[in-house]
Amino acid sequence: MNPKVIILKLNSDSCNLCCDYCYENKKNFSTKNNEKIIAINFIEKLLNNFSQNQNVKFILHGGEPLLSPFEYLEELFTYFRFLTQNRNVTVGIQTNGTIISPKLINLFRSNSEILRSIGISIDGPIELHDSVRKNKSGEGSWMRINSFVNEIRKNTDLGINAICVISKMNINYPEKILDALINDMKIKNISLNPCFLLESNGIDSFSIRPLEYFGFLQRAFKYVCKKNLLSNIKINPFYNQFNSFLGNPPSVCLWAFPNKCNSFITVYPDGSIYPCDEWSRNDKTMFFNLKDNLPPEDQLSLYDFNQDNYVNDKYKMMINLCSECKFVRDCGGGCFSIRSYWYENDIQMYNEYCDYRIKYIKYLKPLFVDATKN
């Protein structure tokens, strides 16, 4: 059974950095009443809605999750370990990679059975990364991330995944980005994710357009082939796209069709429950609040995409639109949140998104077929 992915917004929108393109602090929410952590009984209440054999993956997210009080993180991991008595539980952390201490290292080590890897946001070499990922005084964060990576490597067996956001600031430098992550930082698992800002119709000064992203991916793929990197480095979106060509179950929702958004649930410290955090956060997208006493069956049906509500309507609409497309098997439908936003607010961007998906498949598939012949 596929795991439910539960994104825990520890600290909600609080962060020690203020990256130029950050969407967390643009969401229609501010941390109220000092609700910065998620009460463990909220998580218990949420899990009561799932069958005992439902596997669960928790992602500690934020803001910056490692800003949470250390005692709270300890308590959370103790609770996760307790849960493993009855169900399969894994944990991931998505961090900006600037906060590390011997206590945190020990916590990671002592939970290595459930915590296998850590995702760190790195936007390329120091000059590109620091131009966007800065602290509140405007200082770049790359040097601290480099120390974080070294500490994790020296003291733990945790895998390191680099999450690199492709924005206007670094889109012209795919080769430099890959060199920095692979050669300088020795990272073997990389995601090159586009910065498509929803609130600004995709033309925000940091956001890129879908076809610009396609151009970036073409250059990145050429470089990866030239340097013969595909066999020992997992680089996404290529790795997952190849899996999709092979007909293997994708590990990322963007290539899964039709079941995608309904594997994800986001929990905020005030107990509110939303779909995947790519959906914007507002009254329409909220499923329910764990403080409310809805019977478990009713709660479950709200986020299981069976009922009529705003997100489910968009989700079904996207499934219908993709069902008529001859590229759906290879494409997987992309991100439903981004597409449904553009479908309603900017049809040109919506069409350009599909254009990029189709061009990308047409570009990559023959290269993939050639490579698998040899």
Tell me how far CA of residue 106 lies from CA of 86, 156, 216, in angstroms.
25, 9, 39
Least distance from C-beta 327 to ligand SF4, angstroms? 5
The site that binds ligand SF4 (CB under 6 A) totals a number of residues, namely 22
Amino acid letter, 104? L
For 10, phi then psi, to 5°, come to -60, 140
Q: How far is the CB of 272 from ligand SF4 (least distance, A)?
A: 17
Q: Which residue, 353 or 368, has its beta carbon nearer to ligand SF4?
A: 353
Q: Does 124 bind ligand SF4 (CB under 6 A)?
A: no
Cβ partners under 8 Å of residue 287, min gap 6: 265, 273, 274, 275, 299, 302, 303, 309, 311
Considering only 46, 220, 229, 322, the residue that binds ligand SF4 (CB under 6 A) is: 322
Q: Which stretch binds ligand SF4 (CB under 6 A): 48-56, 124-132, 142-150, 258-266?
A: 258-266
Q: Which two tokens stand for residue 97?
A: 């990679």
User: Should residue 211 be labelled a site residue for ligand SF4 when binding is judged by CB under 6 A?
Assistant: no
Buried b (16+ CB within 10 A) or exposed e, 347-364: eebbebbbebbbbbbeeb
* 320, amino acid identity: N
Which of 104, 253, 286, 364: binder of ligand SF4 (CB under 6 A)? 253
Q: Is 197 in the site for ligand SF4 (CB under 6 A)?
A: no
Q: Is 357 in the site for ligand SF4 (CB under 6 A)?
A: yes
With CB under 6 A as the contact rule, the residue among 50, 328, 363, 365 that binds ligand SF4 is: 328
Give 165's strand partners: 193
Candidate residues 8, 163, 354, 364; the one interacting with ligand SF4 per rule CB under 6 A:
354
The C-alpha atoms of residue 281 and residue 152 are separated, in whole angstroms, by: 33
- Tell me phi and psi for residue 295, to 5 degrees: -60, 145
State the minimum distance, in angstroms, from the CB of residue 234 to ligand SF4: 19
Answer left, alpha or beta for residue 4, where phi above 0 means left and psi between -120 and 50 means alpha: beta
The radius of gyration of the chain's CA atoms, rounded to the nearest angstrom, is 20
Stretch touching ligand SF4 by CB under 6 A, among 43-51, 121-129, 175-183, 272-280: 272-280
Binding mask 44-83 for ligand SF4 (x = CB under 6 A): ----------------------------------------
Q: How many helices (H) and strands (E) does the chain have?
A: 13, 10
d(CA 173, CA 149) in angstroms, rounded, equals: 22
Determine which residue in the list 169, 261, 300, 349 makes contact with ligand SF4, applying CB under 6 A.
261
Q: Contact with ligand SF4 (CB under 6 A): which of 278, 285, 303, 341?
A: 278
C-beta separation of 174 from 229 below 8 A = no
358 binds ligand SF4 (CB under 6 A): yes
Q: Which window, 81-89, 205-213, 228-236, 351-359, contacts ligand SF4 (CB under 6 A)?
A: 351-359
Question: Of 180-188, 206-214, 221-229, 322-330, which part binds ligand SF4 (CB under 6 A)?
Answer: 322-330
